[in-house]
Structure 1
Amino acid sequence: MWYNQFRKIQKAGDLMGMTVNKELPLPADLKSEEPLTADIIALKQKRDREIRDIFTGASDKFAVIVGPCSADNEDSVCEYVSRLAKLNDSVSDRLVLIPRIYTNKPRTTGAGYKGMLHQPEPDKAPDLLAGIIAIRRMHIRAIKESGLTAADEMLYPENRSYLDDILSYEAIGARSVENQQHRLTASGMDIPAGMKNPTSGDFSVMLNSVTAAQSSHNFIYRGQDVTTDGNPLAHVILRGGVDKYGTCIPNYHYEDLMRLLAQYQKRELNNPAAVIDTNHSNSDKQFKEQLRIVSEVLHSRAYNSELKKLIKGVMIESYIEEGCQPIGSNRVYGKSITDPCLGWEDTRRLILKIAEEA
């Protein structure tokens, strides 16, 4: 009785300062409208095994999670991923390329473009119904055209249900990693979940998140009472931090990696692993620095065999055209509208270099 009454109030309009714009389909309903083919399901299973083997240590391949800061246009994203697929053919004996198709964009102040999930057309008003359809279609098209399954960021835990049958990797961002719902949701994933260090750069917060994600939990998820198994593939992502004065403090240097190794050794965690995010506070968003940072990370791995086992991959922000641009009517195709990215030629050369040295 009370539930039906609540629904009537909710549908009537404003509720505690919140306007209900429209009801969204259940994830199961959207999946039935935009289903995966048997070929895609089999491909994802194969890719998931390949990526899992990196994080368990069964494979010595190196993961390269690479792509735009934010996926803002289906055509340019799918073209980019198809270019990656061709490159993957020549490096697949050493690397596993995982396209970044990030459909949610965290905003420090709440202002600005929040990703395709919010705005399928960046210069138009938010439309979440169109958004959830657009991101699912884009991910499916990218897989069909490239044969590569992708990574996305779990910015909103309950929204991942619209893509949880598609993704092969998920990242939990610096602003989300301390959030209980993110940690518990990650504990129910069966794919690698990368927990970034918070914006403060604190390693202990990040490792506490890994501990939580690797454990079993009972909680409310999408209106259901659920229990998770724990995710043994949860691991850390180092993305640099910011001190109290707003100065970026990188954490990809050899000393930082050794400190991380020591902290991992003090904890009883499954599959110790780290991915190094070469942009954000590690590069101070100087996107060309990613080239140098990758080289330093590879050198540290080559110098220390324990670090070689720990550092499983790098994360690189890259698009067709380098740099970034404002949202406007004359946007350059394949150029970021959020953080600046490496261009394709630099990316291609960098991936070939990683394949030689990793």
Structure 2
Amino acid sequence: MSFTYLNQLPTPEEIKKEYPLSDKLTALKKERDAMIRDVLTGKDDHFLVVIGPCSADSEDPVCDYVSRLTAVQEKVKDRLIIIPRIYTNKPRTTGEGYKGIATQPDPEKAPDMIAGLIAMRKMHIRAIEESGLTSADEMLYPENWGYVEDLLSYVAIGARSVEDQQHRLTVSGFDVASGMKNPTSGDFSVMLNSVYAAQHPHHFTYRGFEVETTGNDLTHVVLRGAVSKHGNATQNYHYEDIMRLIEMYDKMDLKNPAAVVDANHSNSGKKYKEQIRIVKEVMHNRQLSDEIRKMVKGVMIESYIEPGNQKIGEHIYGKSITDPCLGWEDSERLIYDIAEMC
């Protein structure tokens, strides 16, 4: 056989029973989910800022970072809703490299998925407890949703996953904000078709069950730039890109039109300091056009305690071991600038 079966994984119910979310934090998540819903449905004009490390590789610095956001959120609460990025799964273009804490709780050791599922859940819970902020994660593996479904207020579907049928159908069963990124090709039609699929009910198989879903009306698009046929990064956050997106949205039967702009990845060419300029351009364009203001509901920023990135094994506290991130001082200043420009 091509497969070697190593361990039987515990079920989501077993993991959640061992590491439960308290009633107090459950109520907090419900409150934040409602706030985010109101933004995406146009009932509230707060702006979403999804911000945090490229990958959440270590509990202590991640929770330290997230807790720093608490004081900032309090100062901008009249204008912004901060959603910490706690991304526990890392997609790899070639399949090589660190795949996230859910797979490798220790980046310098072999994969251990049972320990990884526990580490993933513990980190999310600790971050909520210490910061009072519920977070975002990327759903790289649809079957892992049950392990964190009671913890997350935002879910991202990555550029490599957005065309996958199982991802689209699984999102149709979520009741939280879900952002569908454009594929690496940059094709807006693929992204919008993914939103359409996730917003509608479906009947399919999931984790060994026959299931039905009701559709997720909070599914929206995330613009992350693209890669040309020659391998060059191309941007899709400019004024004309958003106007084209608005036109395409208008031609489809979609609920709650909304876009979030990912300031890193191909939009910045992974030049992490460019995120500052990109975010400010997005905010400026919202000031220029009521249509863009209604469409663009938030931004994504890759940020950590220390700027840049490091190799696995260097052990610089709070520095990314995957893509380079904006440092804390620049990030804090940028959040205040976003609030001023809202």
Q: In the TM superposition, what whole-angstrom CA distance separates every residue of 1:174-206 from its partner, at most 9, and x where no partner exists?
A: 000000000000000000110000000000000
Q: Which residue of 1 aligns with 2:326?
A: 342
User: What is the distance in 2 between the residues matched to 1:149 and 1:335?
Assistant: 22
> Is residue 2:274 matched to residue 1:279?
no
Deviation at 1:140, TM superposition (A): 0.2
- The equivalent of 2:295 in structure 1 is 310
- Which amino acid counterpart does residue 356 of structure 1 have in structure 2? E
Higher alpha-carbon Rg = 1
Q: 1:216 matched to which residue of 2?
A: 201
The answer to whether residue 157 in structure 2 is matched with residue 166 in structure 1 is: no
Matched, 1:353 2:329: no
Aligned equivalent of 1:241, options 212, 220, 226: 226
- Alignment counterpart, residue 93 of structure 2, candidates 83, 105, 108: 108
Q: 1:191 pairs with 157, 164, 176, which one? A: 176
SS in structure 2 of the partner of residue 324 of structure 1:
coil
Cα offsets for 1:218-272 (capped at 9, x unmatched): 0001011110000000000000000111001100010101000100011111000
TM-score after normalising by structure 1 = 0.95
Counterparts of 1:128-207 in structure 2, within 5 Å, are 128-207=113-192
Q: 52, 56, 69: which is aligned to 2:37?
A: 52
Paired residue type of 1:354: I
Matches within 5 A, 1:24-35: 24-35=9-20
Whichever residue aligns with residue 223 of structure 1, its letter is G
CA RMSD of aligned residues (A): 0.5
Distance of 2:306 and 2:193 partners within structure 1: 38
- Alignment partner of 1:260: what SS? helix
Hey, what's the Cα distance between the residues in 1 that align with 2:11 and 2:297? Answer: 35
For residues 108-149 of structure 1, give each alpha carbon's deviation from its aligned partner in whole angstroms, at most 9, with x where no partner exists. 000000000011011111000000000000000000000000
Q: Determine whether 1:81 maps to 2:66.
A: yes
In the alignment, structure 1 residue 64 sits paired with structure 2 residue 49 = yes
Matched residues, number = 342
How much has 1:160 moved relative to structure 2? 1.4
SS in 2 for 1:131: helix
- Residue in 2 aligned with 1:11? none
Residue 251 (str. 1) matches residue 269 (str. 2)? no
- Distance in 1 (alpha carbons) for counterparts of 2:182 and 2:315: 33
Mark the runs of 5 or more structure 2 residues left unpaired by the alignment: none
Q: Secondary structure at the match of 1:336?
A: coil
**Match of 1:348, as an amino acid?**
E
The letter of the residue matching 1:346 is D
Aligned to 1:7: none
Matched ranges for 1:258-337 at <5 A: 258-328=243-313, 330-337=314-321
Q: CA deviation at 1:86?
A: 1.2
Q: Write out per-residue CA displacement over residues 30-77 of structure 1, whole angstroms, 9 at most, x where no aligned residue.
A: 100001111011000001001111100111000000000000100000
The aligned runs of 1:89-100 (5 Å cut-off) are 89-100=74-85
Opposite residue 289 of structure 1, the aligned amino acid is E
How far apart, CA to CA, are the structure 1 residues paired with 2:228 and 2:72? 38
Give me the whole-angstrom Cα distance separating, in 2, the residues matched to 1:326 and 1:122: 11
* 2:216 matched residue in structure 1: 231
Question: What amino acid maps onto 1:126 in structure 2?
Answer: P
Q: 2:109 aligns with which of 108, 111, 124?
A: 124
TM-score (norm 2): 0.99
Q: Distance in 1 between matches of 2:57 and 2:307?
A: 15
Structure 2 residue aligned with 1:12: none
The 3-state SS of whatever aligns with 1:237 is strand
1: distance between equivalents of 2:287 and 2:35? Answer: 23
Question: Take 1:295 and 1:71, find their aligned partners in 2: how far apart are those partners?
Answer: 26
Task: Report percent identity of matched pairs.
Answer: 64
* Amino acid in the other structure paired with 1:186: V
Q: Distance in 2 between matches of 1:110 and 1:57?
A: 39
Partner Cα distance (1:316, 1:333) in 2: 19
Deviations 1:258-306 (A, max 9, x none): 0001000111110000000000000000000000000100011100001
